[in-house]
């Protein structure tokens, strides 16, 4: 059994937080301008097995700014629990000092100033350095490197190479297995092409052929590390065929498939597995519910909802780990295994502070090689921002406010809609808006910006449908995204209400009048899952707008009123 002492070490002292004062060694070192790579990698080894986890990189090769959400609401059983805590509540729960490196990496408070103090995070060459460091310390035979998916999409180089840039990165990192979601938006043929040639396992127990209900991909794989047999079960996003265009993979279906996971666990144990790991892209709340219903899973490495937590969550005997996104963090989990059971664990969320981690020269050269053919486009400066541009958050993201404004003006629309995607970096005031930064928020395989008409009632129903996808009290009915961003439209939302009762007080912002549910409005949007959508790619629309305005200044968005939280 896992001792109380080990549990407290893993949850309260995980990551960088190690003292009762809330200002651990790394926090103190930062205050004295002495953060070092050794501070980040320092770890008290346990047992003979080390699992490394990275997820939701979204094809980010270089260090970047990425602001964590200031609003991340939980509903039902998840209300008020991690990961649905932000800023001061988050810091209090995990004993993090305001202004510390932990506060910068994990919250949105005072983000601009802290970003200027601590710099960018991530970068595949820095991640490679940490992975090599752990392998050198522990030995290759003790380390298992797992990728939670959403890796091949999210940048211009990935879009242009159909994900090959990130497959090359994963191969160089020597990942052992991966899960998936946005990978499927390159289409079934391209995914199968990569899977057949990649030197790592692509695991997805929940993807079936539509006609014959046969498994499309390998469900699990057994690895031996540190003398222990570790079964890794892969789980793709269950709602991929709802969240993304089904026409890109018409012969496949997804789903949670709880009974099949239970069967995979039983078979893995029968084959001699000492440790069972679910490499999941379900989203945190779905995985928490799953862990309460499926016994025998030792570790769930969760993904999709981009949550970063410097401690584990326990659901029964299952450890749930959330490793953040965009290459900001690398999770390390050491396991002690005796008599075919996990008897102890120790965990650390390692922040990738790019200014203090030495770039790995081999990975640095590979990143430069990947970007070289596109550098002329990537480096183009389109405008300058005087506002903080970020995306992540349940409701308003200023980067999407910019996109919505561009669509209103360039597509001559009354109302605009931008999907509640979570991927894309942050720009701080004074930054140039390069084409690289724009592509990081828009690069996808169905980017067309449509222009059509929708009635006020249709707009209300769209908002209700998306709201139910996020705030349904049963996690198994949640898709894990954020609310669609709107331009030219305001509304109130009560997240405690059931579907068709959450959205009220819709108002057309330009006139200040209530939205007429019977009237048709000219609407521009992008990211439609319909096939053969007409319109220019969204990056062209935004670039045209930026070329005209030159400087971006956004007023605070107060058009969404939230209650019931």
CATH of region 4-369, choose from 3.50.50.60, 3.40.50.1000, 3.60.21.10, 3.90.25.10? 3.60.21.10
Which candidate, 460, 564, 443, 453, places its Cα nearest to that of 514? 460
Domain 379-563 has CATH 3.30.950.10: no
Residue with tokens 């892209």: 281
Going 153 to 157 to 161 to 165, the CA torsion angle's sign is negative
Q: Which of 437, 441, 449 is nearest to 423 (CA)?
A: 441
- Ramachandran class of 550: left when φ > 0, alpha when ψ lies in -120 to 50, beta otherwise: left
Structure tokens, 9: 């070490």
- In tens digits, the chain (565 residues) has pLDDT values of 344 344 344 443 344 533 223 334 454 344 435 689 999 999 999 999 999 999 999 999 999 999 999 999 999 888 999 999 999 999 999 999 999 999 999 999 999 999 999 999 999 999 999 999 999 999 999 999 999 999 999 999 999 999 999 999 999 999 999 999 999 999 999 999 999 999 999 999 999 999 999 999 999 999 999 999 999 999 999 999 999 999 999 999 999 999 999 999 999 999 999 999 999 999 999 999 999 999 999 999 999 999 999 999 999 999 999 999 999 999 999 999 999 999 999 999 999 999 999 999 999 999 999 999 999 999 999 999 999 999 989 998 999 999 999 999 999 999 999 999 999 999 999 999 999 999 999 999 999 999 999 999 999 999 999 999 999 999 999 887 799 999 999 999 999 999 999 999 999 999 999 999 999 999 999 999 999 999 999 999 999 999 999 999 999 999 999 998 8
Please name the residues in contact with 212: beta carbons below 8 A apart, sequence gap of 6 or more: none
Angle at 280 between CA 275 and CA 283, to 5 degrees: 135
One-letter-per-residue 3-state SS of 191-229: HHHHHHHCCCEEECCCCEECCCCCECCECEEEEEECCEE
Residue 322: both structure tokens together: 């959330």
| Contact indicator for 54, 331 with CB cutoff of 8 Å | yes
Rounded CA-CA distance 230/223 in Å is 5
**CA 18 to CA 40: how far, in whole Å?**
12
Q: Which residue has the tokens 């790394």?
A: 26
DSSP bridge partners of 300:
278, 320
Give the max Cα distance, the chain.
70
Q: What backbone torsions phi and psi does residue 99 show, to the nearest 5 degrees?
A: 80, -5
Tokens found for residue 397: 């993201």
Per-domain residue ranges for the chain? 4-369, 379-563
Residues sharing a CB contact under 8 Å with residue 74, sequence separation 6 or more, in sequence order: 80, 81, 83, 84, 285
Q: Say if CB 254 and CB 207 are below 8 A apart.
A: yes
What distance in Å separates the CA atoms of residue 240 and residue 183, rounded to the nearest whole number?
Answer: 10
pLDDT at 274: 98
What are the tokens at 234? 């892969």
User: What is the spatial distance between Cα 426 and Cα 327, in angstroms, rounded to a whole number?
Assistant: 13
Tokens linked to 299: 């570790």
Exposed (0-12), middle (13-18) or buried (19+): which is 136, by Cβ within 10 Å?
exposed
**CA 406 from centre of chain:** 25
Cβ neighbours of residue 512 closer than 8 Å, sequence gap 6 or more: none
Read off the DSSP letter of residue 92. Answer: H
CA–CA separation, 354 vs 366, rounded Å?
17
- Tokens 């900001």 correspond to 328
Closest listed residue to residue 468, CA positions, set 418, 503, 492 = 503
Q: Is the peptide bond before 83 cis (omega within 30 degrees of 0)?
A: yes
φ, ψ dihedrals at 399, nearest 5°: -65, -40
Taking each helix axis as running N to C, give the angle between helix 124-138 and helix 164-173, from 0 to 180 degrees, rounded to the nearest 10.
Answer: 20
pTM, whole model, 2 decimals?
Answer: 0.94
pLDDT of 6 reads: 41
Residues with Cβ within 8 Å of 255's Cβ and at least 6 positions away in sequence, in order, are: 206, 238
**pLDDT attached to residue 396:** 86
267 class by beta-carbon count within 10 Å (0-12 exposed, 13-18 middle, 19+ buried): middle
The residues facing 545 across adjacent strands are none
């Amino acid at each position: 059994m896992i001792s109380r002492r080990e549990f407290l070490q893993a949850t309260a002292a995980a990551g960088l937080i190690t003292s009762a004062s809330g200002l651990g060694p790394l926090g103190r070192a930062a205050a004295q301008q002495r953060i070092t790579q050794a501070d980040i990698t320092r770890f008290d080894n346990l047992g003979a097995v080390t699992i490394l986890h990275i997820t939701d990189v979204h094809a980010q090769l270089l260090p970047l700014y990425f602001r964590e959400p200031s609003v991340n609401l939980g509903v039902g059983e998840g209300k008020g629990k991690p990961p649905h805590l932000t800023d001061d509540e988050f810091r209090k729960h995990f004993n993090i000092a305001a202004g510390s490196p932990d506060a910068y990496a994990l919250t949105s408070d005072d983000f601009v100033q802290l970003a200027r103090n601590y710099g960018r995070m991530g970068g595949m060459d820095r991640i490679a350095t940490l992975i090599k460091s752990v392998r050198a310390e522990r030995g290759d035979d003790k380390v298992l490197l797992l990728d939670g998916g959403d890796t091949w999409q999210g940048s211009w180089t990935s879009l242009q190479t159909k994900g090959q840039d990130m497959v090359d990165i994963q191969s160089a990192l020597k990942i052992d297995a991966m899960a998936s979601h946005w990978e499927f938006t390159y289409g079934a043929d391209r995914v199968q092409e990569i899977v057949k040639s990649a030197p790592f396992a692509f695991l997805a127990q929940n993807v079936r052929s539509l006609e014959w209900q046969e498994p499309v991909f390998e469900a699990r794989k057994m690895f031996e590390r540190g003398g222990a047999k570790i079964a890794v079960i892969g789980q793709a996003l269950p709602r991929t065929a709802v969240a993304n265009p089904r026409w890109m993979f018409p012969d496949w279906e997804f789903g949670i498939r709880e009974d099949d996971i239970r069967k995979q666990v039983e078979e893995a144990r029968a084959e001699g597995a000492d440790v069972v790991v679910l490499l999941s892209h379900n989203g945190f709340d779905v995985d928490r519910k799953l862990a309460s219903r499926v016994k025998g899973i030792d570790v769930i490495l969760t993904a999709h909802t981009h949550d970063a937590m410097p401690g584990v969550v326990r659901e029964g005997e299952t450890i749930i780990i959330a490793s953040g996104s965009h290459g900001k963090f690398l999770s390390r989990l050491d396991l002690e295994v005796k008599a075919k059971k996990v008897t102890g664990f120790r965990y650390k969320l390692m922040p990738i502070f790019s200014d203090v981690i030495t770039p790995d020269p081999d990975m640095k050269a590979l990143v430069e090689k990947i970007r070289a053919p596109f550098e002329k486009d990537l480096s183009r400066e389109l405008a300058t921002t005087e506002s903080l541009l970020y995306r992540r958050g349940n409701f308003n993201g200023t980067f999407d406010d910019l996109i919505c404004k561009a669509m209103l003006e360039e597509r001559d629309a009354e109302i605009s809609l931008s999907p509640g995607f979570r991927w894309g970096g942050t720009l701080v005031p004074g930054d140039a808006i390069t084409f690289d930064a724009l592509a990081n928020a828009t690069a996808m395989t169905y980017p067309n910006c449509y222009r059509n008409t929708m009635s006020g009632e249709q707009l209300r129903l769209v908002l209700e449908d998306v709201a139910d996808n996020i705030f349904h009290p049963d996690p198994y009915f949640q898709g894990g995204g954020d609310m669609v961003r709107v331009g030219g439209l305001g509304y109130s939302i009560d997240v405690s209400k059931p579907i068709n009762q959450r959205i009220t007080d819709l108002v057309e912002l330009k006139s200040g009048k209530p939205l007429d549910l019977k009237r048709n409005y000219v609407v521009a949007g992008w990211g439609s899952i319909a096939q053969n959508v007409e319109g220019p790619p969204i990056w062209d629309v935004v670039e045209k707008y930026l070329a005209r305005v030159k400087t971006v200044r956004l007023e605070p968005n107060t058009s969404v009123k939230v209650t019931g939280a």
